[in-house]
A and B are shown apart, each in its own frame.
Chain A
Amino acid sequence: MANLKILVVDDEPFIRAGIDRILRNFKVDYPFMEEPFEFSILEAATGEEGIESIERDKPDIILLDNKLPGIQGVEVLEYVKKKKYDIVVVMITSFASLDLAVKATSDGAYDFIPKPFTPQELKSAIESITKHVFLVRMTKQMQAQGKQIRFQFLSVLSHELKAPLNAIEGYLKMMHEKQLGDKIDDYDQVIDRSLKRIKAMRNLILDLLDMTRIESGQKEKDLKPLNLVEIARTSMDTAKPMAIHKEVKMVLNAPSNIVYDSDSSEMEIIFNNLVSNAVKYNRDGGRVEINLLDEPGQVVISVADTGIGMTAEEVGRLFQEFVRIKNEKTKEITGTGLGLSILKKLVETYGGKVTVESTPDVGTKFTVNLPRNLKAI
């Protein structure tokens, strides 16, 4: 049960007592809230007492009468505004003068409750205020979490970008100091490794660009009727050198044509990701099976490998950015750690979904469902 503190600032004791009685056992509950809200009531007879209570009790909501013996209600309101306190202020006023309403609203009052009010009127006002407080807090919390995720992403990213630079710098220093001798041939391995790290870093930057484009939603999709079977074949051609090297056999099961309204560069990213992963994480002499199904309302793409597979825990982390499953079986395999995160984001822009089934040392099967939207039919 969440609790909100309501400070009632009114010089009339019976109003304060009345509000206390009405709200003491009142609860506000909406389906979207995790738990109902209840209220505890604080009282102040003057504006000065009100300010003391604001400082001492940190109320969430203030019900504020304007006509007070000392300083006026609007001055209390100004105080809250000046201090930038996160408090919802509601004016209680016996004569709802337009001037006061304008002044108080410009000073940040959230609402008015005209006096006299019935218990029901008070309750419905409190209901809407509670909803407001809840939503403001949720929004702030979500923004803070977003920032946190952003920070984590950036610190991992800087690590990933710095590692290859460090490696290349180290190799250049070795050459500079002629650590391996005077002959350039002695540095073959050093040069070869440097070039590999540069290539990996370039891939990372390209992946990052893809991801930023998808995330920002800036890129307009260039939707055209595409034959996905052809794109699957192109991806298989792209993966062929690696497949030959690992003696992995690739098989395509598909009709000759599956036309789907989509952006060709995006479909290429999706297929390249699926097919190259299936080859890369396969065992030598393994098999990759690519299935395309043209179903009513959707296209189903599945790519299954006979590779190293993953545990359920590894599958759970798979689509996070920069998560590369690190173990004995993957340590020789290079990757940016962004591919699957990009794949998932892209598929989602088509309203589709990606699912994974995997068994360690048996293989992994990725399935992508791409719905056909109404426009495409």
Chain B
Amino acid sequence: MEPKKKIVLIADDDMDYLFQLKMKVESIGFEVIEADSQKEAEKVIERVKPDLAIFDLMMENEDSGFILSYKMKRRYPDVPIIIATAVTSETGISFDGADEGASRWIKADLFLEKGMRTDQLQREINKLLKL
């Protein structure tokens, strides 16, 4: 019997980005649950424990990704979280999570630039899942 696929929750309010990311993550060999808003993702978290989550930063709120990370870590402290954002190049604000003060309250494990290649994404996910 084929081993059960690991589940990745992806939340993004841009339907095209959601679709593309889903394709990428599925091609790596994961099962994907989609959520097209922060609210939707919150609902998913209530009934499913994913193996990993990828959140867009800006959805209904400009810090939706942070809010989701916080809620997620409170419920499932062991599930790694990636925040995918285009913020860095747009505003010059960098959220690399390395900052001591920021990482204390931002619960994400990794920040990734949107539009990363599939192989990069695969490497980062494998690292987080210790595969």
Contacts and interface: CB of A to CB of B under 8 A. Distances in A.
B31 interface: no
Interface stretch (B10-18, B69-77, B95-103): B10-18
Nearest to B39: A328
Interface string A146-163: 000000000100110011
Given A158-B90, A170-B20, A174-B23, A163 B14 contact: yes
B36 interface: yes
Contacts of A263: none
Interface residues of A, number: 18
Contact of B13 (A155, A159, A326): A326
Nearest to B117: A173
Contact of A167 (B14, B23, B60, B91): B14
Contact of B90 (A159, A169, A197): A159
A159 B86 contact: yes
B20 A162 contact: no
Contact of B115 (A159, A170, A193, A331): A170
B29 to A, nearest CB: 14
Interface string B69-113: 000000000000000001001110000000000000000000000
A167 B20 contact: yes
Contacts of A158: 90-91
B70 to A, nearest CB: 20
A166 interface: yes
Given A174-B23, A179-B23, A167 B16 contact: yes
A331 B18 CA distance: 14
A167 B13 contact: no
Interface string B31-59: 00000110100000000000000000011
Nearest to B21: A170
A166 B90 contact: no
A171 B20 contact: yes
Given A163-B86, A166-B17, A174-B20, 14 more contacts: A155-B90, A162-B89, A162-B90, A166-B114, A167-B20, A170-B16, A170-B17, A170-B115, A171-B16, A171-B20, A179-B27, A326-B60, A331-B36, A331-B37
Interface of A: 155, 158-159, 162-163, 166-167, 169-171, 174, 179, 193, 197, 326-328, 331
